[in-house]
Chain A
């Protein structure tokens, strides 16, 4: 059904369609609308689910872990400080191989206290074993949340998935949304290692170095297999519902001399900058990085690359710029922009391209090339 919705509402509607058995969550700006809307669906009887209003995000993830290992589809949503507060449990969810789906509304971390968009919160969970996808439109927030359940629950993956959307810029924007009749797209949840009271087993006991090491390799093996599963699920989604997605979204890249790489809403805004640059005769394209874990293979050889990082790893550099450099060998022009919700327009992005210095780093509006 075609309507309009905010990014938060789109996530809540996708969760309603996916019918998780347990939702445990704690509200935090700018995510609150997601869990409020889901709570309304549960209260109204539109979603037959157990909604657990917990006292903290750590408990939210703990409750999801308990429910998931019981063999139930689970969902939670958080943001920023909430995500970091559950950090220990975020590791646990992946290590216990539980296909929990979590929406993370990307928001900066204090101090200074700031509720606006930044990707540092998600990137701080980079090494936990969660899959991470970043969306750029309200429609994509809905579609990616639906696909997240199917990808996570695939027996070749069995890892949790984090769906990331920009705080306010996407969580609170209203755009068109086409909701779908799911049919049998999402098969019933089946966890091979679910608790079975007729066959008691130990969960989370002391594990020696040899077994522990194998378990870690098993996570990485599944992370590698996840690439193929993601492609399969995105292809099936396109066949059933007519909207196709991939590890990246490329725009006017075919003959581009210079490519802007960005994530989330900045990746969509970049497309407008590309049109402006093309009008000036600059052969520019953009590549919106959708999947961050597993990190996709990128084909950018022979082009100048401008990476916009809405994040920073202090003492090192932009996380996306350095990930790209390590994967491709390309020295990008690294632009740090949009931290804490800093306004970045398509004109600014076009300027990044016009004034690019490959191999240099620039903090937009703060410091020159260094």
Chain B
């Protein structure tokens, strides 16, 4: 079982990113679950979402305490939340950042999802949309295939700019 924890702020699309990722994994023929952890929901508060991917049906409902992959959609959260908590020794971190981030180890990868969203003018209520470009980055990391990632985006969103943003993130992320 591959376990993913997504850190974001309320309103940044972390919950939708988890759903999209589960859908993409499902289109790859895997079993997948996405579960947001809801606190007192409010825009801007740090929130966590979980995704599990496996070849077998998934019966676990509890939170992910030892993730294989941590995704951080807003690196300012790293000042207040230990995003690396419980990360497996061979785990991976994917950061939304134009630059490497201090304090993150060699397993860290970064891609400027915010810049990609802004370049596509993917903005809702003043916030760049991060949940569709991150799918492209995850396809590059090898969590899902790119065709399934793009299919999942098309199933949930009609605006083709979301697909373009995902493709851009796939191209830009250095592996």
Contacts and interface: CB of A to CB of B under 8 A. Distances in A.
A38 B58 CA distance: 28
B32 A272 contact: no
A174 B61 CA distance: 11
Q: How many B residues touch the partner, as a band?
A: 20 to 34
Contacts of B89: none
A172 B38 contact: yes
A41 interface: no
Contact of B60 (A4, A172, A346): A346
Contact of B35 (A174, A271, A345, A346): A174
Interface string A239-272: 0000000000000000000000000011011011
B61 A169 contact: yes
B38 A268 contact: no
A170 B26 CA distance: 18
B33 A272 contact: no
Given A174-B18, A176-B26, A269 B61 contact: yes
Contacts of B65: 345
A168 B60 contact: no
Contacts of B38: 30, 115, 168, 172
A110 to B, nearest CB: 13
Contacts of B62: 269, 343-346
B139 interface: no
A170 B62 CA distance: 11
B151 interface: no
Interface string A271-313: 1100000000000000000000000000000000000000000
Contacts of B36: 168, 172
B60 to A, nearest CB: 6
B59 interface: yes
Contact of B33 (A174, A266, A271, A346): A174
B23 interface: yes
A175 B33 contact: yes
Nearest to B30: A176
Contacts of B22: 4, 174
B154 interface: no
Nearest to B38: A168
Contacts of B58: 175
A180 interface: no
Given A4-B23, A4-B26, A172-B38, A343 B63 contact: yes
Contacts of B19: 4, 174
A362 interface: no
Given A345-B60, A345-B63, 16 more contacts: A4-B26, A4-B32, A30-B38, A115-B38, A168-B35, A168-B36, A170-B61, A174-B32, A174-B34, A174-B35, A175-B33, A176-B26, A266-B61, A269-B60, A269-B62, A343-B63
